[in-house]
Amino acid sequence: MLNKLESLLAKTELQLTLEQKQQLIAYVDMLNKWNKAYNLTSVRDPEQMLVRHIMDSIVVNPFLHGTRFIDVGTGPGLPGIPLAIVRPDSHFTLLDSLGKRVCFLRQVQHELGLNNIEPVQSRVEEFIPEPPFDGVISRAFASLQDMLSWCSHLPKPLEGRFYALKGVLPAEELSQLPTGVVLDTVIPLQVAELDEQRHLVILKSN
């Protein structure tokens, strides 16, 4: 698994320590083990998890600005846990409404010694941020409209950003942004060994 991860990382500009690589692999091991009972992800093969979960998450790392982030609808910790491993100086609140997922996240936090994550069980619209976040991140969570509707109270006014990890560019969703929110930028992403479209949509308040 370490060789596989290193071959994937070699196709990026990310520079990780051996400890970070080992943490990523330990996370995949836990995801694979817990998946059998908890059904956390439809991806069953650990090597595919490296591509579809680890690389697909950390590819957005260079484009995040700030140090306090919330991963809404994090599920089993994606993209929050891989990003927390590669950004040890940032803090990630991992929000999910399902208890079994949050239970898994707490176990990951304990076993991997991740001091920069905070798993929280809550519906996103009921969660009160103190203070607001630099960035609100979502991956396969909802439409842009739903994300903005449910998460509008989470980022810092003006300088806070919404980061939506998308597959095919959601042109129709982008054409229907609500008043007060504008498109900052769209970044096409390349994920090693993944022959599918990926885009990072960054939105901001105006």
Which structure tokens are listed for 30?
A: 């836990």
182-191: long-range pairs with CB below 8 Å, 24+: 182/206, 187/60, 187/63, 189/59, 189/60, 190/59, 191/51, 191/55, 191/56, 191/59
Q: Is 73 annotated as a binding residue?
A: yes
pLDDT given for residue 141 in this prediction: 79
Write out the chain's pLDDT in tens, 206 residues: 999 999 999 999 999 999 999 999 999 999 999 999 999 999 999 999 999 999 999 999 999 999 999 999 999 999 999 999 999 999 999 999 999 999 999 999 999 999 999 999 999 999 999 999 999 999 987 899 999 999 999 999 999 999 999 999 999 999 999 999 999 999 999 999 999 999 999 999 98
Q: Is 86 annotated as a binding residue?
A: no
- In degrees, rounded to 5, the angle at the alpha carbon of residue 142 between the alpha carbons of residues 136 and 143 is 100
In the three-class reduction of DSSP (H, G, I as helix; E, B as strand; rest coil), residue 160 is classed as coil
Cis status, amide bond into 79, omega within 30 of 0: yes
Q: Is 124 annotated as a binding residue?
A: yes
Q: Is 78 annotated as a binding residue?
A: yes
Identity of the residue numbered 85: I
pLDDT given for residue 206 in this prediction: 85
In the three-class reduction of DSSP (H, G, I as helix; E, B as strand; rest coil), residue 124 is classed as helix
In the 8-state DSSP scheme, what is residue 126?
Answer: G
Superfamily, domain 1-205: Vaccinia Virus protein VP39 (3.40.50.150)
Q: Is 125 annotated as a binding residue?
A: yes
